[in-house]
A and B are shown apart, each in its own frame.
Chain A
Amino acid sequence: MRITCPYCGERDSEEFSVQGEVAGPRPRPSDYGDADVKAFHAYVHLRANDFGLTREYWYHGNGCRRWLEVSRDTRNHAILGVAMASGAGRR
């Protein structure tokens, strides 16, 4: 698989590690009670795991050390877009 890092250019996926699906923004805790647990549970564990278009966090660890957000098609591994992940998981 070849990933075009916005900084480094096209590189083999070997240089990257993938963390998994972009799970939406990190919830903002309020009182650290049940509601927060529920929100964090969804954020940390539950995944759409889409058949088709998905967004994943890839880390260019053997490159520019940037976290990237990669849009891919899980049916055929086609890469549809790569962007710096800055702020994607912001609250």
Chain B
Amino acid sequence: MGSGSGVRARLSARAIVAVLARKGQEEVLAARLGLLDAPKRSGRDGVTALGIGPGRWLLLDPSADQLAGLTDLASLSDQSDGYAVFEVWGPSVRAALAKGVPLDLHPAVFTDSVAVTVIAHIGAIVWQSAADRFAIAVFRSYAGSFWHWLCASAAEFGLTVEEQP
């Protein structure tokens, strides 16, 4: 799409579990799993947790161990199939994303942030999976429309699609 490859993208498959704190258990739960109760990336032991609301997180690729014994602390809900997660990077990634992402993605501003937001009328969760590399999760039914938006937005910079490793 376009020429050059100012933007690169791939689809990334991840296990996602929503962890919703039981009433009054937010802090205990956060401490147990090493979570920040904030719109931030947090977590430990190889788990990435995305704060998506007060007392609400999405855990990426959690292990069974980590989820065990949370019964009284949290309600868990599998969301692995609920989202399509895109990863986008490249020299023009910010310019392309600016065409729909209503967030200040300046490197000094959007660092360990997680933002639940809306992109081109599609609800989305945005975070950085690595420096200058953005992950965007959209509900899976929207994946086609989201991809269409991404192609249109990145076209002028050249878009290269990478296979999943």
Question: Could you list 16 A-B pairs, sorted by A, with CB under 8 Å?
Answer: A7-B38, A8-B39, A8-B116, A9-B39, A11-B102, A11-B117, A14-B102, A15-B118, A62-B116, A63-B115, A64-B52, A64-B53, A64-B56, A64-B116, A65-B56, A65-B116
Cβ-based interface call for A66 (8 A)? yes
Question: Contact at B39–A14, with CB atoms within 8 Å?
Answer: no
CB neighbours of B102 from chain A (8 A)? 11-12, 14-15
Q: How large is the interface on B (under 10, 10 to 19, 20 to 34, 35 or more residues)?
A: 10 to 19
- Secondary structure at chain B's binding surface: helix, strand, loop or mixed? strand
Are the CB atoms of B54 and A63 closer together than 8 Å? no
Q: Is B158 an interface residue (CB 8 A)?
A: no
Known: A11-B117, A64-B52. 9 other contacts (CB 8 A): A7-B54, A8-B115, A8-B116, A11-B102, A14-B118, A62-B117, A65-B56, A65-B116, A66-B54
Residues of A within 8 A of B116 (CB): 8, 62-65
Contacts A12-B102, A84-B54; A64 near B39 (Cβ below 8 A): yes
**Contact of A7 with B39 in the complex, beta carbons under 8 Å:** yes
- Chain B residues with CB under 8 Å of A8's CB are 39, 115-116
Whether the Cβ atoms of B117 and A65 lie closer than 8 Å is: no
Within 8 Å of chain A (Cβ to Cβ): is B34? Answer: no
Interface string of B37-59 (1 = CB under 8 A from A): 01100000000000011101000
Query: How far is A72 from B102 in the complex, measured between Cα atoms in Å?
Result: 23
Given contacts A8-B39, A11-B102, contact A66 B53 (CB under 8 A): yes
Check A62–B118 contact: CB distance below 8 A.
yes
Convert A2-32 into 0s and 1s, putting 1 for each residue whose CB lies closer than 8 angstroms to a CB of B.
0000011101101100000000000000000
Say yes or no: is B123 at the interface (Cβ < 8 Å to chain A).
Answer: yes
Closest to A7 in B: B54
Interface string of A58-86 (1 = CB under 8 A from B): 00001111100000000000000000100
Complex Cα–Cα for A9 and B53 (A): 11
Q: Give residues 19-78 of B contacting A (CB, 8 Å).
A: 38-39, 52-54, 56
Does B118 lie within 8 Å of A64, measured CB to CB?
no
CA distance A79 to B70 in the complex (A): 39
Chain A residues within 8 Å of B38, by CB: 7
Distance in angstroms between the alpha carbons of A12 and B117 in the assembled complex: 10
